[in-house]
Amino acid sequence: MDDLKEKLISLLHYPEISWNSIFKLLKKDPLLQSVPRVNSSPSNQLSLFTDRTSSTEATPPITTQPSELISQQIQQYEANGIRVITIFDKEYPSLLKEIYQPPWALFVKGDLSLLKIDKKLAVVGSRQSTQYGRNAMRLIFPGLIEKDMLIVSGLAKGIDSYAHEYAIKNDGKTIAVIAGGFYHIYPKENVPLAKELMNSQLIISEYPPDTKPLKWHFPARNRIISGLAIGTFVIEAKRKSGSLITANYAINEGRDVFALPGSIFNPFSLGTNDLIQQGAKLVTKAEDILEEYRL
C-alpha cells in the first residue's frame, strides 16, 4: 500500500472527519505529507460476524494511542476478506467519480469483478413493500438479468432486499451499498442475506467496518447507489421517502430515472407516479428499460 493511500484510509477512521475536511486537506497537501503514518505494530484479528462484546480482544486498552488503534483495525481487514479501494485506485468505479462528493474510499467485500460491469441498474423502493411491487419485480427482473444488467440496491428491508434476492434467484449479479460498516449490518434480519452477498456478490460501504450506522448515513449512501448505476428504477415510494432521494441524486447527475406506475389510491405509488409526471420513464416491462441502452 502506497503512502498516500495508507494515510487517506487512516484519516477515514477518525470519527470527526468529514468529506469536506479531507477535501480541504488534499487541496492544501495533495500527498498528505502532513499526515503521520499509522503505527504498523502487529494486532489481534477479529472475525467479521463474531459478538465483539464477548471478545477480550475486541476493546483495546485505554492507553492505546489512536494511531495504534487505527493500525489494528486496518490490519484486521485482510483476514476478513475486506479490501479498501480509494478514489486514487484504478479499481475505483469511473461513474462514481462523476458524482457530487464521491466517497474517498470504498470498503468492499465479495466479488470485486462486479465493479467492472458497466450495465448497472439501481433498484430502490419502500421498506414496506406491497404484493404489487414484488409481483412487478418478479415480472421485470428476468428480462433485465437475461441482458446481464447488474442490480444495485441498499440492503434495506422491503424492495431493496427483494432486489438483491430476485437478482440472485435469476442467476444475476448484485451489489449492496450499506449505511454504516460491515461489523454493524442493518437491519439485523438481513445479516444472512449480507453473508450471502459477501460470499458470492459484493457489498460496499464508504465507512470503516466498525462504524455504527447513523441516521444521516442512509440518505448519504443513496448517492452511491445511484452513482454506481447508469439508471435508477424506483419500484414503490411514498411522496417523502429515501427512494426519492436516490432518484433526485440520479437526476442531478444526469442519469436515467425509471418508475413503476401504481394506483392513485396506494400511498406507496404516489411517489413513483409523481416521478413519472416529472419526466421519469414509466416502466411496465423489462424492455422499457433495456431499450434506453439498446440492449
Peptide bond preceding 103 in cis form (omega within 30 of 0): no
Q: How far from 117 is each of 121, 158, 174, 290, CA to CA, in Å? A: 11, 25, 11, 16
pTM beyond 0.85: the answer is yes
Cell of 218: 442512509
Q: What is the model's pLDDT at position 53? A: 34
Q: Strand 231-234: give its sheet, edge to edge.
A: 83-86, 105-110, 202-205, 174-177, 150-153, 120-124, 231-234, 256-259, 281-282
Is a pLDDT exceeding 90 seen at residue 47?
no
Within the chain, all domains assigned CATH 3.40.50.450 are found at: 112-293
- Torsion angle of C-alpha atoms 150, 152, 155, 157, degrees rounded to 10: -100
Q: What is the DSSP letter of 116?
A: G
pLDDT tens string 11-46 = 999 888 899 999 999 999 999 998 887 654 433 333
Q: What element of type H or E holds 3? A: helix 3-11
pLDDT tens string 85-106 = 999 999 999 999 999 999 999 9
Is a pLDDT exceeding 70 seen at residue 66?
no
CA distance 166 to 138: 7
- Please state the separation of Cα 128 from the chain's center in Å: 20
Q: What is the model's pLDDT at position 39? A: 57
Is a pLDDT exceeding 90 seen at residue 2?
no
Cell of 235: 419500484
β-sheet bridge partners, residue 83? 108
Domain 112-293 has CATH 3.40.50.2300: no
Q: What percent of the chain has pLDDT over 70?
A: 89
Q: What is the model's pLDDT at position 38? A: 66
Q: Are residues 89 and 115 in contact, defined by beta-carbon separation less than 8 angstroms? A: no
pLDDT tens string 209-267 = 999 999 999 999 999 999 999 999 999 999 989 999 999 999 999 999 999 999 999 99
Q: If pLDDT is split at 50, 70 and 90, which confidence band does 62 have?
A: very low
Q: What is the model's pLDDT at position 50? A: 38
